[in-house]
Structure 1
């Protein structure tokens, strides 16, 4: 093993509910190859306390992408990522992030990688509210505004309504099922996007979306899609600032916002994840 053979195995409650057999297999493989202490937290608070009280044990998270994100977030806020390597046994349905990072998704293979793998240092995207992003983030278009069936007419559109007609209309509305409120298709956003202080797009140019994904070591790849449909604008850098009208964004699998401005900074080799030794050399460029 590349690191301590004393493990703190933190089993996320979602993993226990979704696939108890995979959890049992992971526990058996890990306990067969190392000294383990198993924790079964029932809430995010208990999850955080278990990690905080790990002592010299190496933490192993058994759970899905959300559990991994929670663990990285806890250690980041405690400023312990630099000295604490994480291991993951993916269990659950949301495992796309785990796959993209190179973690085996089978319980036996993942547990063996925990025991025999090597730690790889990975970049981390940190925002100005102390949030973390492991994979990538996306800013979708702002939703359009459409009047639904219950919309109030403007003074120009309104017509005088007689009292008896108002009563009849009210009765008809009461007895008639209301159709579902229509949803307008998304419209363009107007945002300012800066990469390392260089303007990529300004508020005068509408855009369909922004994506930020891992680039080379210490860099993020930023892509802006202008509208009407045009050539995407791309730039690499360490610091990305988006500002303008209120916007929401999807960081990994979670949606955050709305915010008026947000800055993300790449922290190179900020956290460690145990990966299979055989695939380590080939994964360096991922």
Structure 2
């Protein structure tokens, strides 16, 4: 981990004076090196900031566990933020400090950041870290230790559809952590358009294995403390609202905030209300 000094051209004066730990996702610099440079200039010019370049999940864990009172700031995609929150959850430090985010990545990789209200431009996003206010947000946490910021999708296409998006600019942290996210399952031959899943939400049965399911969609509305669930089957649409949902099947993959995981045979997601805080621009 190294400390960087920066020119004053982009500097902003922090309102809170809190020291920062800037976590740079290795994929971010490859995607948009100029935005990364600008974000680092603003952060290091406006606060006592140390910049770390963790290249594996274990290194990310180590850097976070030795941060002291520095606020974590992620430069990268939704997935990079997801991995940092996951690591903080493992360390039981999720609610200890607010987290900052400078979105860097392709547009589809930043949809959660947009939905959460994080500025898209690096200068504005960095200023929100320096002078913004923490906002409490809910989080979906699964029984395998993974987290979901906003949206979850289980498709009847099975493991092939979900695992087919592993390439491109996907975060190096995520590639190295793939084995930690799900119990490995062998893929079954052939393409599937429907899956036989049992979906139970707060004790209410939304789908059972005797009826094939085309898609299960789960969303986490801001500040409501519950998830919304939609199960689409041939000729049927079932909606539900719950704080916990369990899905069982022969082997299904899923997408958390647009990024693939699995396949697994069983997974439970639970809403953790107000579990973390994100630094956002002041309102009003």
TM-score range, shorter chain: 0.7 to 0.9
Q: Is 1:264 matched up with 2:269? A: yes
Distance between the aligned counterparts of 1:233 and 1:142, measured in 2?
19
Say if 2:60 is the partner of 1:60.
no
Call closer, same or farther: CA 1:202–1:277 in 2, change over 3 Å: same
- Which structure has the greater CA radius of gyration? 1
Q: Does 1:103 align with 2:103?
A: no
Question: Judging changes above 3 Å, is the alpha-carbon distance between structure 1 residues 254 and 131 closer, same or farther for their aligned structure 2 residues?
Answer: same
C-alpha RMSD of matched pairs (Å): 2.1
Unaligned stretches of 5+ in structure 2?
Answer: 1-13, 161-188
* 1:226 partnered with 2:224: no
**Conserved in 1, the CA contact under 8 Å of 2:158 and 2:251?**
no
The corresponding residue for 1:204 is: 210
Shift of 1:206: 1.7
Aligned to 2:43: 30
Query: CA–CA distance in 2 between the matches of 1:131 and 1:264?
Result: 9
Give the structure-1-normalised TM-score.
Answer: 0.78
Match of 2:98 among 82, 85, 94: 85
**Deviation at 1:144?**
11
Q: Are 1:254 and 2:254 matched, yes or no?
A: no
Contact conserved, 2:155 with 2:194, CA < 8 A, in 1?
no
The residue matched to 2:266 in structure 1 has which SS?
strand
- Number of aligned residues: 240
Alignment of 1:118 onto 2:133: yes
Q: Deviations over 1:6-50 (max 9, x none)?
A: 111122211122222111111111122211112223333323322
2:250 to 245, 248, 267: 245
Is 1:275–2:280 an aligned residue pair? yes
| Shift in CA distance, 2/73, structure 1 to aligned 2, threshold 3 Å | farther
What is the CA–CA distance in structure 1 between the aligned matches of 2:53 and 2:263, rounded to whole Å? 34
TM-score, normalised by the number of residues in structure 2: 0.78
